[in-house]
Amino acid sequence: MQLSRLQIEGVRNLEPLTISPSSTVNLLTGPNGSGKTSILEAIALLASGRSFRSARLAGVIQHQQNSMTVFGRCISDAGDDHSLGVRRDKNGDTLVRINGQSYSSFSPLAQLLAIQLIHQDSFSLLDGGPVFRRKFVDWGVFHVEHQFVINWQQMQKALKQRNALLKAGTAAEQLDIWDNELVRHAQAVHLAREQWLETYQTFFHQAVDGYLSERQWRLEYYPGWNNKQHPDFSDALLESRPRDIRYRQSHVGPHRADIRLLVDNKPAKDVLSRGQMKMIICLMKIAQAKLLEQTTERQCIFLLDDLGAELDAANRELVMREIGSLKSQIFLTGVDDFGLAELLKEQGGQMFHVEHGRVRPV
Ligand X SMILES: Nc1ncnc2c1ncn2[C@@H]1O[C@H](COP(=O)(O)OP(=O)(O)OP(=O)(O)O)[C@@H](O)[C@H]1O
Query: Does 267 appear as a known binding residue?
Result: no
The one among 2, 27, 30, 303 contacting ligand X by CB under 6 A: 30
Give me the numbers of helices (H) and strands (E) for the chain, helices first please: 11, 15
Stretch that binds ligand X, among 55-63, 143-151, 213-221, 318-326 (CB under 6 A): 55-63
C-beta closer to ligand X: residue 293 or 306: 306
Stretch that binds ligand X, among 59-67, 162-170, 220-228, 254-262 (CB under 6 A): 59-67
C-beta closer to ligand X: residue 204 or 352: 352
DSSP state of 303: E
CA atoms within a 13 Å half-sphere pointing along the CA-CB vector of 34: 17
C-beta closer to ligand X: residue 243 or 360: 360
Residues that contact ligand X, how many (by CB under 6 A): 16
DSSP state of 66: S
Residues 163-222 contacting ligand X, CB under 6 A = none
Query: Does 36 appear as a known binding residue?
Result: yes
CA distances from 250 to 15, 151, 246 (A): 48, 18, 10
From the CA atom positions of the chain, what is the Rg in Å?
22
Stretch that binds ligand X, among 30-38, 100-108, 128-136, 199-207 (CB under 6 A): 30-38
* Binding of residue 62 to ligand X (CB under 6 A): yes
* Binding of residue 223 to ligand X (CB under 6 A): no
* Binding of residue 36 to ligand X (CB under 6 A): yes
Residues 89-128 contacting ligand X, CB under 6 A = none
Residues 245-284 contacting ligand X, CB under 6 A = none
Residues 311-350 contacting ligand X, CB under 6 A = 333, 335
Q: What are phi and psi of 156, to 5 degrees?
A: -60, -40
| Helix 130-144 vs helix 148-168: crossing angle, to nearest 10 | 140
* Binding of residue 34 to ligand X (CB under 6 A): yes
The one among 24, 26, 29, 37 contacting ligand X by CB under 6 A: 37
d(CA 82, CA 156): 32
Stretch that binds ligand X, among 35-43, 186-194, 226-234, 290-298 (CB under 6 A): 35-43
C-beta closer to ligand X: residue 137 or 332: 332
Report in angstroms how near the CB of residue 123 gets to ligand X at its nearest: 16
Across the beta sheet with 266-267, the strand order is 217-222, 258-263, 266-267
Report in angstroms how near the CB of residue 64 gets to ligand X at its nearest: 8
Report in angstroms how near the CB of residue 40 gets to ligand X at its nearest: 8
Query: Does 253 appear as a known binding residue?
Result: no
Report in angstroms how near the CB of residue 280 gets to ligand X at its nearest: 22
Across the beta sheet with 17-19, the strand order is 17-19, 2-9, 67-75, 81-89, 94-98, 101-103
* Binding of residue 299 to ligand X (CB under 6 A): no
Task: Assign 263 to helix, strand or coil.
Answer: strand
The one among 17, 27, 35, 272 contacting ligand X by CB under 6 A: 35
Q: What is the full DSSP assignment across 194-248?
A: HHHHHHHHHHHHHHHHTSSTTS-EEEEEE-SS-TTT-SSHHHHHHHHHHHHHHHT
d(CA 350, CA 320): 14
In the chain, beta strands by DSSP E: 2-9, 17-19, 25-29, 67-75, 81-89, 94-98, 101-103, 115-118, 217-222, 258-263, 266-267, 301-304, 329-334, 350-355, 358-361
Binding-site residues from annotation for ATP: 30-37
Binding annotation: 30-37
- Positions in the binding site for ligand X (CB under 6 A): 12-13, 30, 32-38, 59, 61-63, 333, 335
